[in-house]
Amino acid sequence: MTTHDKILIVDFGSQVTQLIARRVREEGVYSEIVPFTKAEEAFAAMRPKGVILSGGPASVLEPGAPLAPAFLYDAGVPILGICYGEQAMAKQLGGEVEAGHAGEFGGAEVEVSADSALFDGVWMPGEKYPVWMSHGDRVTKVPEGFKVVATSPNAPVAVIADEGRRFYGTQFHLEVMHTPHGALLLRNFVRKVAGCVGDWSMKAFRDEAIQKVRAQVGSARVICGLSGGVDSAVAAVLLHEAIGDQLTCVFVDHGLLRRGEAKRVITLFRGSYNIPLVHVNAREEFLRQLDGVVDPEQKRKIIGKAFIDIFEAEAKKLGGAEFLAQGTLYPDVIESVSATGGPSVTIKSHHNVGGLPERMNMTLVEPLRELFKDEVRALGRELGLPDVFVGRHPFPGPGLAIRCPGEITAEKLEILRYADEIYIEEIRRAGLYDDIWQAFAVLLPVKTVGVMGDGRTYDYVVALRAVTSTDGMTADFYHFDMKFLARAATRIINEVKGVNRVVYDVTSKPPGTIEWE
């Protein structure tokens, strides 16, 4: 990424920090998120044209509260502080932050009191605009050189600006959709204030990623683990374009896939791309290892280890391979490290984000490590992958194992596959597939008494989930009409032996989590 303008995002632990990076990248500007503890080394490596300080759950008034490295304020680049980031900047530069006021979480209205480069062409003095607040503390005195350029009833210092040093702070969150003009304000900061050109594109990424893979791999052999999902498929096609027959893809059929999934993957790669592919049928082995396992985290770890064992065995059969490629994405990387620089809550324990076991004597190749999910889809289209494949809903590495809570059996998996197939089929028939971020069925670990015809039944309950999202970070349940739900439920109950009840899951997805499970 040496040829493009960059923005460094210093993370203080906000649940929506990733949205800042997404908004910046939407402007064609490359951005990276780093914990505040690693900001100094990241700044030296990236040489960014601007810095954004994220929000966070802490209070700057607490002893040992996270702060930005002091050198940033003397680095000569523009800085934008968002929520906690504004408070940290204000405190560090001589302003005052106070607690004890009523917290503000949700919609609010700010009134612009003065012109600012941050508002150029978007907000006008004297006008009021809706924003999204999420704070307890608030700035009460601005540092020397700053002025207040927008206020709100509960946050009189809603936006501050030091136009000379190009430092700005907002008490509200610009990055969320609930601040309607937030993306445009961020654009002003990135493009006009920081002067970023906006030349980062999927075509540029493709060309640079190919060169990076060639430089890393040289003439060595690479094994790529195919899961059947979009990420590993795009990674495989990119790798093949970079190193050709040095690549061998290993598709492990672990028996936890959707109906027909194995056939679709094999057809695509052997028929359309002529990529060397090894198909490993390991259904019995995975089911054996998962026998009696109930805890979902343990399931993930068992599956991840089993994958590694198979890849290691296949590498030996090929005469050795020095590299293992996988479709790690940027959210996987971010979620593997907390804002304090230590291990975060494990989101994807079936991924090897931190590296491979030493006994493998292999190095990871992760060509998609810098991309978000929708960027991977764009790269897939750039590489010529068919849209019917690129546009598929996300499907987790552990597959149906974590959509079958409780003990896993071959019988339960077959019931789930059939119910899931009917559900997705009905979504496609209704023309709703592309309106939904992800949809899937879950076989609940309970049975209920029912009546079908003249007899009683004692069978499983299937839950249906569908969520919408624009950024892959937050979501709401999809609002099906009752006719659709009735049609899908009736088909599942009538056609899937072992199911006598269907429910619809209306749980929304909160900010800060990544995988739709």
Q: Is 175 a catalytic residue?
A: yes
146 or 335, higher pLDDT: 146
The answer to whether the CB of 398 falls within 8 A of the CB of 303 is yes
**Interstrand relation of 455-468 and 79-82 (parallel, antiparallel or unpaired):** unpaired
> Count of CB atoms within 10 A of residue 27's CB?
17
The answer to whether the CB of 489 falls within 8 A of the CB of 505 is no
**Mean pLDDT along residues 158-169:** 96
The model's pLDDT over 401-442, given as tens digits with 9 standing for 90+, comes to 989 999 999 999 999 999 999 999 999 999 999 999 899 999
Quick check: 452 pLDDT over 80?
Answer: no
Quick check: 176 pLDDT over 90?
Answer: no
Quick check: 397 pLDDT over 80?
Answer: no
What pLDDT is stored for residue 470 in this prediction?
Answer: 65
Quick check: 372 pLDDT over 90?
Answer: no
**Mean pLDDT along residues 467-488:** 84
Q: Is 173 a catalytic residue?
A: yes
Residue tagged active-site, from 4, 32, 83, 370: 83
The model's pLDDT over 195-210, given as tens digits with 9 standing for 90+, comes to 999 888 899 899 999 9
**Mean pLDDT along residues 441-465:** 88
What pLDDT is stored for residue 67 in this prediction?
Answer: 94
Residue tagged active-site, from 86, 175, 261, 370: 175
The model's pLDDT over 80-118, given as tens digits with 9 standing for 90+, comes to 999 999 999 999 999 999 886 656 667 788 999 999 999
pTM above 0.95, yes or no: no
**Interstrand relation of 6-11 and 222-226 (parallel, antiparallel or unpaired):** unpaired
**Mean pLDDT along residues 187-197:** 96
CA dihedral 413, 417, 418, 419 (to 10 degrees): 100
Q: Is 479 a catalytic residue?
A: no
What pLDDT is stored for residue 88 in this prediction?
Answer: 95
**Cα(420)–Cα(399) distance, integer angstroms:** 12
What pLDDT is stored for residue 347 in this prediction?
Answer: 35
Residue tagged active-site, from 173, 240, 254, 393: 173
What percent of the chain shows pLDDT beyond 90?
Answer: 58
Quick check: 388 pLDDT over 70?
Answer: yes
Q: Average model confidence (pLDDT) for the chain?
A: 87
256 or 271, higher pLDDT: 256
Quick check: 345 pLDDT over 70?
Answer: no
- Order of strands across the sheet with 159-162? 30-35, 6-11, 50-53, 79-82, 167-170, 159-162, 147-151, 104-112, 128-135
Quick check: 284 pLDDT over 70?
Answer: yes
